[in-house]
Amino acid sequence: MQTNPRIQQQLQKWVEENRGHVILGTTAQYIPELGKADPSKLGICMLDEEGNYYCAGDTDIEFTLQSISKALTFIALSCHYGLDFVLERVDVEPTGEAFNSIIPFEIHRPNKPFNPFINAGAITISALLPGQNSQKKYEYLLHFLEELVGHPLDMDREVYDSEWKASHRNRALAYYLKEAKFLEIEVEEALDIYIRQCSIKVSTKDLALIGLIIAYDGYNPITKVKHFSDEIAQVAKVLMVTCGMYNSSGNFAAHVGIPAKSGVSGGIMAAVPPKLHSQTYEFRAGAGIGVYGPAIDVQGNSAAGTMMLRQISKEWDLSIF
Ligand code: DON
């Protein structure tokens, strides 16, 4: 089927209406290379189950995955070792603390990190990726992602170097993980694989496609390939709802209601499952969404991107709740 011009026009209109919200955020200054992004940018791509892309705004820019990679490592690792193996090593509980906080460890002394989307949990599971060293682990993840998006991917060297030099907090977290015996490899190697995965470059189209596959429980309805199991997709979506937008996850669930994962580069990947009883026709059979808006709020989510998703979800009745 062809793209629907009305949907395309609506999206364009909503991007322009939400552009003003970029002033509610700033680019991620703590990773200097990300701080250089243009904060006025805002773009979105939506993909339906027939393969129609609807893209509006600034969608010709590539950006790094950052924390969106945490959802993808979780899925890749669960595919390789099984969900039980991964859930023995990382929990699925939100923390209510910042994504790079050390407080939950100090206060609760848990027997595993709280969830794979906070930095501590993500560093723990990235270190478990198959491969003898961080290069091999990175290649494993990259290959898994290339299978999903259907084209080669690469890392942004400048962003990697910039984060590596600024990673004092993550280094401290990794030492903490090592001391608590959650980390089976050396600290520097764990940081290397973690920062590499955060530095993988994608487009809003790539995020829309991966979001669609997650929405369809690991199945790509366009190529008819099943990439991962229903069970893995289910837990990934639970994590996206409860922890995907960090300390805004409750608000995001209430006002947007779509499983999503954000990153400090300003990307958001969202998975809209099919909704047969939807009050509108648009994306009733589900969708994948990729957003880019590098001005992020204090919680680390694209400020204008979040507002735009709120409007889209309301207008097209996309909430899963
Ligand atoms: O570890 C960090 O701080 C970054 N590489 C990723 C953080 C991030 O994207 C949090 N998300 N909103």
Q: What is the pLDDT of residue 1?
A: 64
Do residues 170 and 76 share a domain? Answer: yes
Residues belonging to the active site: 67, 70, 194, 246, 264
Do residues 127 and 113 share a domain? Answer: yes
Considering the domain boundaries, does residue 135 fall inside one? Answer: yes
Give the chain's domain count.
2
DSSP 26-52: B--TTSHHHHTS-TT--EEEEE-TTS-
Q: How far is the CA of 264 from the centre of ligand 1 (A)?
A: 5
Counting atoms of ligand 1 from 1, which one is nearest the CA of 265?
A: 9
* DSSP code, position 175: H
The verdict on whether residue 170 carries a ligand-binding annotation is yes
Q: What is the pLDDT of residue 195?
A: 98
Considering the domain boundaries, does residue 53 fall inside one? Answer: yes
Determine the Cα–Cα distance for residues 71 and 50; give it in Å rounded to an integer: 24
Q: What's phi and psi for 46, nearest 5 deg?
A: -120, 145
Considering the domain boundaries, does residue 321 fall inside one? Answer: no
Counting atoms of ligand 1 from 1, which one is nearest the CA of 163?
A: 5
Determine the Cα–Cα distance for residues 166 and 268; give it in Å rounded to an integer: 23
Its pTM stands at: 0.97
Determine the Cα–Cα distance for residues 319 and 32; give it in Å rounded to an integer: 35
Considering the domain boundaries, does residue 228 fall inside one? Answer: yes
Q: The domain containing residue 46 runs over which residues?
A: 5-65+202-315
The CATH number assigned to the domain holding 209 equals 3.40.710.10
Do residues 310 and 208 share a domain? Answer: yes
Q: Which helix (H) or strand (E) holds 260?
A: strand 260-262
Do residues 111 and 52 share a domain? Answer: no
- Tell me if 33 CB under 6 Å of ligand 1: no
Q: How far is the CA of 136 from the centre of ligand 1 (A)?
A: 22
Do residues 294 and 187 share a domain? Answer: no
Report the nearest-CA residue for atom 1 of ligand 1: 119
3-state SS assignment for residue 128 = coil
| pLDDT by residue, tens only, the chain of 321 residues | 678 999 999 999 999 999 999 999 999 999 999 999 999 999 999 999 999 999 999 999 999 999 999 999 999 999 999 999 999 999 888 887 888 888 877 777 778 888 999 999 999 999 999 999 999 999 999 999 999 999 999 999 999 999 999 999 999 999 999 999 999 899 999 999 999 999 999 999 999 999 999 999 999 999 999 999 999 999 999 999 999 998 999 999 999 999 999 999 999 999 999 998 999 999 999 999 999 999 999 999 999 999 999 999 999 999 999
Do residues 80 and 153 share a domain? Answer: yes
Contact 95, 114 (CB under 8 A): yes
Q: How far is the CA of 117 from the centre of ligand 1 (A)?
A: 9
The verdict on whether residue 264 carries a ligand-binding annotation is yes
Among 53, 13, 43, residue whose Cα is nearest residue 212: 53
Do residues 61 and 72 share a domain? Answer: no
Among 195, 220, 226, 225, residue whose Cα is nearest residue 206: 220
- Tell me if 307 CB under 6 Å of ligand 1: no
3-state SS assignment for residue 57 = strand
- First-last CA distance in the chain: 29
Q: What is the pLDDT of residue 312?
A: 98
Do residues 56 and 171 share a domain? Answer: no
The verdict on whether residue 49 carries a ligand-binding annotation is no
For the record, the structure tokens of 146 come out as 């290339």
- Tell me if 263 CB under 6 Å of ligand 1: yes
72-to-16, 28, 141, 282 alpha-carbon distances in Å: 30, 21, 8, 27
* Domain boundary, last residue among 143, 168, 198: 198
* Domain boundary, last residue among 174, 198, 222: 198
- Tell me if 67 CB under 6 Å of ligand 1: yes
Q: How far is the CA of 262 from the centre of ligand 1 (A)?
A: 9
Do residues 211 and 311 share a domain? Answer: yes
Determine the Cα–Cα distance for residues 184 and 182; give it in Å rounded to an integer: 6
Report the nearest-CA residue for atom 7 of ligand 1: 67
Do residues 20 and 127 share a domain? Answer: no
Do residues 75 and 187 share a domain? Answer: yes
Residue 90, exposed/middle/buried by CB under 10 A (0-12, 13-18, 19+)?
buried
Considering the domain boundaries, does residue 320 fall inside one? Answer: no
